[in-house]
Structure 1
Amino acid sequence: MRPRHHTIAAVFDGAYVALVSNVLLVLGSLPLVVLLFTTDPARSWPLYALTAPLCAPGLCGVFAVMSGYSSGEGGSVLRRYGRAWRAAARPATLWAAGASAVLVVLGVDAYALWGHRAGALALPVLVVLAVLTAGTGLLGLVVIAERPGARLPDVARACLYLAVRRWYLTAASLLVLGLLGQLLAARPAIALGLAAAPLLYVVWANSRFTLRTALDPPTTAPTTA
């Protein structure tokens, strides 16, 4: 009976963390959620680009909750989220603002080149740069969630290198995020109420595995004389 009791408790704990994470994600991304329900994304994309960086600390807070749950740490989920949000507020906002600016520039360039001869050569390059920017930006938020004091240039170099080196993991994370985006556009209530936390957990776990060499450096055993 004891293993069964532990299994049931683990299931309830996981469900609780998932539901609370969904609520915290909505609260942390409230500006984008309001825009989603009140505007047309195709016409209001500049507002989305300006608002997205404000939601980055909330996403870092959710990643910190997932990290604590995965490692078996105790304590309040709300307290862990609050500590991570406060610590990551400035670096995460700056990081997301930089990534959003690069994506906007790439998107505007792609739109300007669409249908021109130069676009046949330039568009594939712009798409690759956009994917690299999105993958690097995602990995950077996972790093900031655990190392909010890290220097952003160092974060950029490490995340860009690992995003390229583990390109298949980066592609998988972006595909899951794309699935979440499609679900959010089609069924926002289901996406925000149920699916967001499980899908983001897959993204976080995938990204954390990609970053393990940077976040978990090998320790050398002390030598004895």
Structure 2
Amino acid sequence: MRTVREQAAAPRRGLASRIPSPGFDTFGSIFGFVYTFLAGNVLLAAANAPLVLCLALVADPIAAWPFFLALSATVPPSLAGLFAAFQALNDDGAAVKPVASFLRGYRHGFRRSALLGLAAVAVLLFLGVDLAIVQSMPGTALLVPVISVAAALTVAVAVMAIAGVVLLPAAGLKGLAKAALYLSVQRWYLSLAMLALLGIIAAAALLQPVLGVALAPAPLLFVVWSNSAYAFSAALRTPQDTP
């Protein structure tokens, strides 16, 4: 009887031994992601404190969109810092230090990302004024979609270029802008996904400024960063790298 029981239990023990159990590296990786996301949200809020504060105080931010668009000029450098933290998370894994990586990326990418942000804000302001003007014009049905697409493309190119600032620190600003425009059009499906995620972040910030900024941005921006990094790596891949 004992022999029969041992033979019946043997397959179960063999199956259990083949099931992988989570190890220290797995838990360390999960902790690295959670820590980076939490720290990233706090650092984003701190870097954009005037914007977050005004969103919390103003009852109708959409009515004052030019003011908030101007305040959003602080967002691109903080995006560069957050993307640098994500890159460090990919490179270092559980040993990542998101605060140090964010500050380093913010400092190193500030000039180029700030210029990209100012250019994007200027273009969006111009397009927003045009959109307000054409509302009373006969060609509204044709002009509104064109202006909307131009505004969406401006946002996609700006975010893609900021990712390029982190991925290609030696690249020039003009080259990054051209590459971002090309990749945003070529990988249009990634641009649409990016705009959808950014729209969720914006909606959360408008509805609940404090909770929205504290919880939503970093995980969604990690997806944006991953897609942008993939687009750049695919474009830079040589034929020898292709299997």
TM-score over 0.5 (shorter chain): yes
Which region of structure 1 is more displaced relative to structure 2, 202-211 or 57-66? 202-211
- Which residue does 1:143 correspond to in 2? 164
Unaligned stretches of 5+ in structure 1? Answer: none
Q: Once the 2 structures are TM-superposed, how far is the Cα of residue 107 of structure 1 from its aligned partner?
A: 1.2
In structure 2, what is the Cα distance between the partners aligned to 1:72 and 1:220? 27
In structure 1, what is the Cα distance between the partners aligned to 2:149 and 2:215? 32
Of residues 87, 92, 113, the one that matches 1:67 is 87
CA contact (8 A) 1:53 1:92 kept: no
Of residues 111, 119, 129, the one that matches 1:108 is 129
In structure 1, what is the Cα distance between the partners aligned to 2:97 and 2:178? 34
Which region of structure 1 is more displaced relative to structure 2, 59-68 or 110-119? 110-119
- Which residue does 2:76 correspond to in 1? 56
CA contact (8 A) 1:28 1:59 kept: no
CA contact (8 A) 1:53 1:94 kept: no
Q: How many residues align?
A: 220
In structure 1, what is the Cα distance between the partners aligned to 2:171 and 2:74? 19
* 2:42 partner amino acid: V
Q: Once the 2 structures are TM-superposed, how far is the Cα of residue 196 of structure 1 from its aligned partner?
A: 1.6
Q: Once the 2 structures are TM-superposed, how far is the Cα of residue 177 of structure 1 from its aligned partner?
A: 0.8
Confirm whether residue 192 of structure 1 aligns to residue 213 of structure 2.
yes
Q: How does the TM-score come out when normalised to structure 1?
A: 0.88
* 2:83 partner amino acid: F
- Which residue does 2:46 correspond to in 1? 27
- Which residue does 2:149 correspond to in 1? 128
In structure 1, what is the Cα distance between the partners aligned to 2:200 and 2:62? 18
In structure 1, what is the Cα distance between the partners aligned to 2:156 and 2:29? 32
Q: C-alpha offsets along residues 88-117 of structure 1, whole Å, 9 cap, x if unaligned? A: 111111101101111111111111011421
Q: Runs of at least 4 residues of structure 1 off by over 6 A?
A: none
Unaligned stretches of 5+ in structure 2? Answer: 1-19
CA contact (8 A) 1:26 1:192 kept: yes
* 2:23 partner amino acid: R
Q: How does the TM-score come out when normalised to structure 2?
A: 0.82
Confirm whether residue 181 of structure 1 aligns to residue 202 of structure 2.
yes
Which region of structure 1 is more displaced relative to structure 2, 142-151 or 50-59? 142-151
In structure 2, what is the Cα distance between the partners aligned to 1:46 and 1:127? 16
In structure 1, what is the Cα distance between the partners aligned to 2:32 and 2:143? 49
Q: Once the 2 structures are TM-superposed, how far is the Cα of residue 158 of structure 1 from its aligned partner?
A: 0.8
The within-5 A match list for 1:32-47 is 32-39=51-58, 40-47=60-67
In structure 1, what is the Cα distance between the partners aligned to 2:180 and 2:32? 32
Q: Once the 2 structures are TM-superposed, how far is the Cα of residue 75 of structure 1 from its aligned partner?
A: 4.8
In structure 2, what is the Cα distance between the partners aligned to 1:55 and 1:177? 12
